[in-house]
Amino acid sequence: MSDVARIECKSCGASADFDVKTQMIHCAHCGKSYKLSEYNECEDILENEEVEVAGDDLKIENFEHDLSKFKKGIHPWGNAEEEGMSLYSCNACGAEVFVSNVSGTAKCPFCDNNLVFTEQFTGDLKPDFIIPFKKSKEDAVNGYYDFLKSKSRYLPGIFKSQNHIDEIQGIYVPYWLFDADFDAEYIYKAKKIETWEAFIFEFTKTSYLDIYRNGNISFKNIPRDASLRMENDLLDSIEPFDVNEAEDFSTYYIAGFMAERFDVPAEDCVKEAVDRMESTIISEVEKTIGSYDELRKHREKVTLKEGEIKYALYPVWYLNTSYKDKHYSFVMNGQTGKMVSNDLPKDPLKVILFMCLFSLIAFVVLLVLLMCIIGFYSIPVALIGAPILGIIIGLIDSYNHMRTIEKVKEAAKYIENKLVLSRKEDKLIKSHTKMRIKPKD
């Protein structure tokens, strides 16, 4: 059996929890609260058990799209255990408890004691830092109902009253965080067309240019979740987390919450993180390019000068609800309160009513626009076109309004140092001008 640390009240010995509102350890049994500086038993355990690991933090040099150049650091890459069960002994009542190999916390089903499995957070498994919960369970429930209210346009009216929360759980989700400093070189082929008139002539000038942009940009703390059980799209959609509020890891913060260690190795997340950064680099570079009629990327060279990978725990509220025998999942950022859902039901009657409303608006707009063009015939044209437009607009609006999950493709929110250009040149390659007599009106 594995060793278990206990988060207990120093006054009465009862099981204690981390209180989100006060950011202190709180005992519900006797009402005592402790600051981290006053409660350090588990930290002593961790310090005594921590394993010395050779090597500095991950540093990467001369990176040119070669993912293998990420060197192994203090955190393991490919040795995450397959999910299984381990047997633990509760140090309050002595009961034996089976838990997943990646679980870091649990409650004893016999005495409700908080169990913290220190082996999941020591040595090379110890997170670099943790963002404590800022939103309480009450905040999560209120946020859930506020979220439903914001979706009431198409949500069935009885969904809020008839669906029920089957499960609500605060979870510290493991994340890999990626830092990177890039040198970027881009060449674009551009075409610019200018037209003007003089007397009876019309001129068209076509210019062809090479656009050069060289510069440096850096990113910090781009997150990729390291849990197989959590849906990536849901977690992506509740970004960003504010790392400025992060704390050094301590079991003090996870008392009363679920916490897991990673079961997705860092090497499986590297490419997604790099793809997000490169997509952002392209966007930032193209912001520096003026308006051209055609713009085509001709050459790209992105070199990672230096990089680092860190391991952290982020707070997430996870809610499961059911309605008409169907289950729905909701996820809230436990720091900012942002909430999303993987699916929401639509009321067909509401969708039809809004289609009718959009059709009416489309009829009025079409009638006004066409009256000046085709006169009397605008009425039948508007009668035919308005319902079609109303249906299309209604479908688009209902989809966009009820969609809360978005696939994250960029990393603009994680830019540490903005793009600094060392070369910005729009080089004219050739141009030619055509002249013709203006056509008669």
Pairwise CA distance, residues 4 & 42, whole Å: 10
Asked if residue 46 has pLDDT above 50, the reply is: no
Q: What is the average pLDDT score of the chain? A: 79
Which one is predicted more confidently, 251 or 208?
208
Q: How many CB atoms lie within 10 A of CB 53?
A: 12
Which one is predicted more confidently, 66 or 268?
268
Q: How confident is the model at residue 374 (pLDDT cuts 50, 70, 90)?
A: confident
Pairwise CA distance, residues 216 & 305, whole Å: 10
Which one is predicted more confidently, 409 or 214?
214
Model pLDDT, residue 108: 58
pTM of the model: 0.75
Which one is predicted more confidently, 250 or 312?
312
Model pLDDT, residue 132: 93
Question: Which class for 89: exposed (0-12), middle (13-18), buried (19 or more C-beta within 10 A)?
Answer: middle
Model pLDDT, residue 252: 79
Tell me the range of 25-29, 84-88, 326-330 where mean pLDDT is highest: 326-330
The answer to whether the CB of 217 falls within 8 A of the CB of 182 is yes
Helix, coil or strand: residue 351: helix
The answer to whether the CB of 271 falls within 8 A of the CB of 67 is yes
Helix, coil or strand: residue 310: strand
Which one is predicted more confidently, 20 or 119?
20
Classify residue 298 as left (phi > 0), alpha (psi -120 to 50) or beta: alpha
DSSP of 50-72: PPP--S-S----SBSS-GGGPPP
Task: For 301, list phi and psi in degrees, rounded to 5.
Answer: -140, 115
In the chain, the largest separation of any two C-alpha atoms, in whole Å, equals 99
The answer to whether the CB of 329 falls within 8 A of the CB of 231 is yes
Asked if residue 215 has pLDDT above 70, the reply is: yes
Each residue of 10-40: pLDDT tens digit? 666 666 777 777 777 777 767 677 676 665 5
Q: Which two tokens stand for residue 55?
A: 């090597």
Task: State which amino acid sits at residue 239.
Answer: E
Asked if residue 421 has pLDDT above 70, the reply is: yes
Which one is predicted more confidently, 416 or 66?
416
Strands of 114-116's sheet, edge to edge?
5-6, 114-116, 105-107
Lowest mean pLDDT among 154-163, 188-197, 338-347, 353-362: 154-163
Task: State the average pLDDT over residues 406-422.
Answer: 89
Pairwise CA distance, residues 210 & 427, whole Å: 5
